[in-house]
Amino acid sequence: MEAVTRVSSTARAAGIVTVVVAALLGSAYVLGRSLVPDQPQRHATGVTTDADGPHYADQPPERPSAASPSTSASQNAAGPTEAGQDGTGRDASGDKLFGAHTGTGTARLALTFDDGPDPRYTPQVLATLREYDVKATFCVVGENAQDHPDLIQAIVADGHTLCNHSWHHDVTLGNRSADQIRADLVRTNEAIRAAVPDAAIVWYRQPGGAWTYPVVSVSQQLGMTPLHWSVDPSDWQAPGADKIASTVLAQARAGGVVLMHDAGGDRQGTVDALRRILPELSARYELEALPTDPT
């Protein structure tokens, strides 16, 4: 009986020690946690939004660095001299940018409008161009041409040039097979010609300027000349009319091609900028719609 009592006392003591140690460890943990700043929780939602830009954007979200071989003189808005006398784009090494033209090949300046037509902004652009008797080039997206054939007709009726800008503004189109590229461009041309059966479509502009040999080759096989640009005010980012106008006026050169947008997002800034730049550009240069016979 004495042995049993001794064992019970020992067990009780051991239990008390265990409880005390556990309490001390718990207090130490709480104290340690209080000294460490709370870390924000990260949640991967997998949701893609338009918060960083409009539905259509003629530049990829991340532009190539200056050292990238795909960065051309035209992307730096250096003007037609660096683009070559034939108006063909050249990269930093002096090689052609897959044959994409960055200039008009003449002393004339070309205004181009991408991603339309759009019922909110394209009529405003057309009205402003009409006011100053200026002809331009509209690089239209196939699905928008299909949805707004009346605007395609209005563009042609005002004497502007049409340019194929792919069916759904697919920046990665050049990485697809030749058959897929051809089907996309043919579908876009068919949508344009459904509105204007005899429309001349002799220019192609790759969304994002993401040129590849396959997309250039297929567009040429379809009778279209690849068209890049030499002046980019990044109006797709909606920086405001002042910024758009100042960039165009500062970078425009004889023989250049100006990139702007009449669709793909809020383009009111572009419309307002156009009203500011046309008087000065018209005084400095002869403005032209790109020819329907680029040869």
Specify the CATH number for the domain of residue 261. Answer: 3.20.20.370
Identify the pLDDT of residue 266.
Answer: 96
| Residue 95 belongs to some domain of the structure | no
Domain presence at residue 19 = no
**Nearest C-alpha neighbor of 125 from the set 240, 236, 247, 268:** 268
Q: Which residues contact 41 (CB under 8 A, 6 or more apart)?
A: none
Whether the per-residue pLDDT at 116 is higher than 70: the answer is yes
Does the residue 214 lie in any domain?
yes
Q: Is residue 80 part of a domain?
A: no
Residue 188: which residues within 8 A CB-CB, separation 6 or more?
140, 141, 142, 145, 164, 165, 166, 167
Inside any domain, residue 48: no
Name the average pLDDT for the chain. 78
pLDDT per position as a tens digit, 217-226: 999 999 999 9
Q: Is pLDDT at 144 greater than 80 in this prediction?
A: yes
- What pTM did the predictor assign? 0.72
Q: Is residue 244 part of a domain?
A: yes
Residue 84 lies in a domain: no
* Domain membership of residue 271 as a residue range: 102-288
Contact 233, 260 (CB under 8 A): yes
Residue 169 included in any domain: yes
198 classed as catalytic = no
114 catalytic? Reply is yes
Residue located via tokens 């054939």: 149
The single residue of 114, 115, 118, 262 carrying the catalytic annotation is 114
Q: What total number of domains does the chain contain?
A: 1
Catalytic residue among 165, 228, 261, 262: 261
pLDDT given at position 236: 95
According to the model, what pLDDT value does residue 55 have? 54
